[in-house]
Amino acid sequence: MDFRRQVVERWPARWPVQPFREPAWARQEPTYRECSPALIDAAVKRADARPAGNWFVAGASRDIRRDKPFGFRVGGRELVAWRGADREPVIGPGACPHLGAPLGDARVHCGELVCRWHGMRIGPERPGWSPFPAYDDGVLVWVRLDRFGGERPTDRPVVPPRPSGGVAIDAVATLTGTCEPEDVVANRLDPWHGAWFHPYSFTRLRVVSAPRGTDVADADDRFVVEVTFRLAGKLGVPVIAEFTCPEPRTVLMTIIEGEGAGSVVETHATPLGDGADGRPRTSVIEATIATSDRPGFGKAARIAPMLRPLMRRASARLWRDDLAYAERRYALRTGRA
């Protein structure tokens, strides 16, 4: 018996980090037979049929500040966000009602924006400038755009279930791709590509169950996956995770068994509008909210500001690849390949 095999056999099963064996990349078990395009398309259509109440993710809560405006777009509309004197987010049109100056370049003074072109003050009570409903869930800020959304409006967005109680660390990564939200959702509802497309992060991936057919109850509309998150060399963290869609532009991954059970990754797709080339742009805003009942996690939470950049970097690395997937899907779907 070689030394490595002895180590693997004697490794304590209760430890969260486990050694693993894996075949060479090209010798993995192919997953294309299970990954039915019709199955993914049906899951995307079911997600698209769910109500969103005209709410769209604007950005991370930490990006909406009291001292600096945050300029962004949704559906081709220029918007601006900041925190008022009561620290609540204020979101409205991004053009000054005077001569159209970009309010994303304004300054915040006493809870109001001051336009840099002519000094006009902008706030919730400004005639000719009306804010949109906004909601801060503690991790992300949402804006409600009724004319663009076209649905029956709701008082608050569909915020996915998050870790309750205990200690949690959250980080938000944002990237932009040439595609539509449905292409981002389709990518996340294809767990079979994980170990093939992201071998630097995932190994030993197996889809345990997937929704079949078109008439699927909400409780059964989920993908359950066994996967090992690679750490270094042949060490990783095995977990069981599920993927669900609480609303049309959100895919929620929840760890249901293993280390960090209850931790979630929320992938939100916000349509930005068309770029200069006439093709749509979509912002992928991904919130990772990690939790653990291990005593050491509480100590790690104390250095959360140091951990967040690492968490954002991990999300961004995956999405640089996954946006290529989503963009390719959009190009093929629309005949623009």
Mean per-residue pLDDT, 210-230: 91
Q: Please tell me the pTM assigned to this model.
A: 0.93
Task: Return the pLDDT at 105.
Answer: 97
pLDDT digits (tens, 9 = 90+) for 77-130: 999 999 999 999 999 999 999 999 999 999 999 999 999 999 999 998 888 999
- Beta carbons within 8 Å of 260's beta carbon, 6+ residues apart: 237, 239, 290, 291, 292
Between strands 223-232 and 202-209, the pairing is: antiparallel
pLDDT digits (tens, 9 = 90+) for 250-267: 999 999 999 899 999 999
pLDDT band at 300 (very low <50, low <70, confident <90, very high): confident
Average pLDDT in the chain: 92
Residue with the two structure tokens 């159209």: 100
* pLDDT at 170 > cutoff 60: yes
Task: Return the pLDDT at 151.
Answer: 97
pLDDT greater at residue 12 or residue 53: 53
Q: What share of the chain is helix, strand, coil (3-state, %, to 5)?
A: 25, 35, 40
- 131 DSSP 8-state letter: P
Question: What value, to the nearest 5°, has the Cα angle with vertex 221 and ends 218 and 224?
Answer: 140
pLDDT band at 16 (very low <50, low <70, confident <90, very high): low
Cα–Cα dist 169/138, whole Å: 12
- Which stretch of DSSP H or E encloses residue 169? strand 168-177
DSSP β-bridge partners for residue 281: 273
